Amino acid sequence: MSNKNQDHIIVGKLGATYGIKGWLKVFSYTEQSESIFSYTPWLIKVKGEWKEIHVESWKRHGQGLVAKLEGMDIREDAQVFTNAEVAVLAEQLPALSDEEFYWRELFGMSVFTTEGYDLGKVTDILETGSNDVLVVKANLKDAFGQKERLIPFLDEQVIKLIDRTAQRIEVDWDPEF
């Protein structure tokens, strides 16, 4: 496994300042929005450098979340962080069982049909209402002329095997689609 950017995982983004005492709006990318506050410290990119920041306090505000960062006591201090991404180190995330995966682990994995046809590599995952969808960039010389395939992430039905070690996903899927 390569150590991509020291394995920073983007878990949210800071929004505009809120009030005059250094609070900021928080946009969480975690499954339960409040889970973003379970990870500490946060890493925030300021002027191209990752900076370790601790959350002093947070609360729900209307439909969203707001947080006060340590050392930010006035609006002007906090404004520096407006629109900054919030990251954590991969090791801060909970360990998963062998059957569970973080989406980021699937990026770059090779996707093969159960018959062994190489469909390409996972480049993205779309979250749709009913089920998630793997975006697979086809190989340059794809026999079916495909550039990209959208494969529903339906465990057991379509997704037959995910092998972390081999970086390989096996699917029951028609390569013509």
d(CA 177, CA 168): 19
Domain ranges of the chain: 6-90, 96-169
Q: What is the pLDDT of residues 1-28, one digit of tens each?
A: 333 445 788 889 999 999 999 999 999 9
Q: Is the pLDDT of residue 155 over 70?
A: yes
| Phi, psi for 22 (deg, rounded to 5) | 85, 15
Distance of CA 161 to the CA centre of its chain: 21
At the topology level of CATH, where does 6-90 sit?
A: Elongation Factor Tu (Ef-tu); domain 3 (2.40.30)
Q: Which of 88, 87, 97 is nearest to 164 (CA)?
A: 97
For 21-42, what is the HEC assignment?
Answer: CCEEEEEECCCCHHHHHHCCCE
Q: Which of 149, 150, 108 is nearest to 133 (CA)?
A: 150
Q: What is the pLDDT of residues 70-111, one digit of tens each?
A: 999 999 999 999 999 999 988 888 777 777 777 778 889 999
Alpha helices in the chain (DSSP H): 75-79, 103-106
**Domain 96-169 grouped into CATH 2.30.30.240:** yes
